[in-house]
Amino acid sequence: MNSQDFLTLNLVGAGAFVVWYLLSRGGNKNPTRLDMNAKDSAPPLINPEPAESIAQEVVPVAVSRPVVHPDLAGRRQKNLNVIFSYNSHTWDAYEVLGVPAGASISMVTEAYQTQIRRCDKESVEFFETAYKAILNKT
């Protein structure tokens, strides 16, 4: 038996399997019809309450201000994030370099140098812009 006979025999066997599979799937199988009038088969809620009683129990809540330490009263909150624009998108410089917001300059410089070593030449400008944004902010 040569390779061409072997290939022909396998193709015939595969074709016979496909025909058998298609014929053995059964005859006329109609899709399941959706009965919109059927009773709901979902289990009931544990403590079902009528919608009217829920609506009546809504009580307005006064909005309270966050508690501020007495030493910090009157000071403005400092935003630790540094946002910069690159290619018409806004980015958080600390997030780009992979350091926590408000990290020290030495930590930022180390992260910047690591990113520059790892990235491709096209991304160097992006990381450099993030690094310069942090340096300008401090």
CB 101 within 8 A of CB 92: yes
- At 26 the pLDDT is 66
Q: What is the pTM of this model?
A: 0.46
Amino acid at 38: A
- At 24 the pLDDT is 77
- At 61 the pLDDT is 64
- At 110 the pLDDT is 95
Q: Residue 90: helix, strand or coil by DSSP?
A: strand
- At 118 the pLDDT is 92
- CA-wise closest residue to 132 among 58, 82, 81, 57: 82
DSSP class per residue in 29-89: -PPPPP-TTSPP-SPPPSS---HHHHHHT-------PPP--GGGTTPPPPP---EEEETTE
- At 129 the pLDDT is 93
Q: 3-state DSSP helix/strand/coil percent for the chain, to nearest 5?
A: 50, 5, 45
pLDDT in tens, the chain (138 residues): 788 888 898 999 999 988 888 777 766 667 777 787 888 777 766 665 665 555 555 556 666 676 767 776 677 666 778 888 888 899 999 999 999 988 899 999 999 999 999 999 888 999 999 999 999 886
Say how far apart CA 39 and CA 44 lie, in whole Å. Answer: 12
